[in-house]
């Protein structure tokens, strides 16, 4: 049981910590919304590549003659969102003739003959130039190039709303996540003999994802703990609820308990209305409800004009009916 505001704060902070424990919720989240497990052979660029039988590797099988001769393939499902971080990796088994491999995220509407990042609503970190592409064909300086033997990763940090990339276990950089649609893990090959393998989490990652998540949780927890709340915040919230819904007897008992506790609050709220005023208004509201339920609408309006004359100054069509619903 929570006995003070300090206990209340600690209680909710502990809930945050428990809900964010590494591995505590990932399995449940995966079961509810699904998680990428393999490459989608039905949603790829087709003739420029071959996907392995286990649907975890892709190889470029022709000679690229044009910029749109890209072998690009998405995962079978979009990245799950009910978690702190989503992440996957790609290992370059063969950089091929030009090393034009890439990794990133794309939407369902992405054109499958373009590199990730070249089209709107997509992100791509490219191996041949180390540039980051975000929705157009012009890349921005971002990180090192990568080639045969390198493992690069791509993730979504939902807490900071950022896309981040890694190389061989080290973070390369990040960019704002400004696409609201579901994002699919995507890899691409674009020159002869290029071959990459993806890891959606079935095998251990090269990048220390657990440490990354732990650091991010510490950041979020620090932000929460720095929030300063008034000493009587929980009392004010509960009391406002009781007043709003007209629970007069409960409000009276609540005030009695509060007045005998160690907590100290002003006798009036932010609007200058005292506890006595609240009780008095609740009695008026109860009286109005009883009159309206009895069907005596004229008497209800007489009481309104006496107690709250400003309310009846505004004239509406069918106002008798409207006020009957309100009270």
Domains of the chain and CATH, by start: 49-214 (2.60.120.920), 228-260+277-326 (no CATH)
Between CA 327 and CA 289 the distance in angstroms is 6
Order of strands, sheet of 39-44, starting from the edge strand that comes earlier in the sequence: 39-44, 71-75, 184-189, 102-106, 123-126, 131-134, 140-141
Per-residue pLDDT at 311: 66
Q: What is the DSSP string of 270-291?
A: TTS-BHHHHHHHHHHHHHHHHH
Per-residue pLDDT, 236: 79
**The token pair that represents 119 in the structure block:** 């089209």
pLDDT tens, per residue, the chain with 327 residues: 444 445 544 544 444 444 443 333 455 555 567 999 999 988 666 677 899 999 999 999 887 666 678 999 999 999 999 999 999 999 999 999 999 999 999 999 998 788 999 999 999 999 999 999 999 889 999 999 999 999 999 999 999 999 999 999 999 999 999 999 999 999 999 999 999 999 999 999 999 999 999 999 999 888 888 887 776 777 778 888 887 777 778 877 887 877 655 444 444 444 444 555 666 677 787 888 888 888 888 888 888 888 877 765 655 555 554 544 444
DSSP H helices in the chain = 5-19, 26-33, 209-225, 233-245, 248-259, 275-293, 297-307, 319-326
> Tell me, what's the pLDDT at 164?
99
Distance (Å, rounded) from C-alpha 30 to C-alpha 184? Answer: 15
- Asked whether the beta carbons of 105 and 116 are under 8 A apart, the reply is yes
Rounded to 10°, the helix 275-293/297-307 angle is 160
Residue 181 contacts residue 107 (beta carbons within 8 Å): yes
**pLDDT confidence of residue 319:** 52
pLDDT, position 64 = 67
């Amino acid at each position: 049981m929570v006995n003070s505001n300090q206990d209340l704060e600690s209680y909710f902070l502990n809930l945050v910590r428990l809900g964010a424990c590494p591995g505590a919720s990932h399995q449940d989240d995966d079961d509810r919304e699904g998680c990428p497990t393999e490459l989608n052979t039905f949603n790829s660029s087709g003739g420029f590549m071959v996907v392995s039988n286990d649907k975890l590797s892709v190889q470029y099988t022709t000679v690229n003659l044009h910029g749109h001769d890209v072998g690009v393939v998405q995962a079978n499902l979009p990245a799950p969102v009910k978690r702190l971080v989503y992440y996957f990796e790609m290992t370059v088994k063969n950089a091929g003739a030009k090393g034009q491999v890439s990794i990133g995220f794309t939407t369902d509407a992405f054109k499958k003959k373009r590199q990730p990042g070249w089209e709107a609503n997509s992100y791509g970190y490219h191996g041949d130039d180390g540039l980051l592409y975000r929705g157009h064909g012009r890349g921005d300086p971002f990180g090192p190039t990568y080639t045969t033997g390198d493992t690069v990763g791509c993730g979504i940090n939902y807490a900071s709303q950022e896309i981040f990339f890694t190389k061989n276990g080290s973070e390369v950089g990040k960019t704002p996540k400004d696409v609201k649609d579901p994002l699919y893990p995507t890899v691409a090959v674009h020159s002869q003999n290029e071959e990459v393998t993806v890891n959606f989490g079935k095998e251990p990652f090269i990048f220390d994802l657990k440490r990354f998540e732990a650091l991010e949780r510490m950041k979020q927890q620090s932000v929460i703990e720095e929030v300063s709340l008034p000493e009587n915040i929980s009392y004010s919230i509960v009391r406002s609820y009781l007043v709003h819904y007209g629970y007069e007897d409960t409000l009276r008992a609540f005030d009695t308990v509060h007045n005998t506790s160690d907590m100290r609050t002003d006798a009036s709220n932010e609007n200058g209305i005292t506890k006595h005023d609240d009780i008095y208004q609740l009695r008026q509201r109860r009286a109005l409800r009883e009159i309206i339920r009895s069907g005596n609408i004229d008497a209800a309006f007489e009481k309104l004009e006496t107690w709250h004359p400003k309310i009846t100054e505004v004239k509406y069509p069918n106002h008798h009916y409207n006020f009957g619903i309100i009270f």
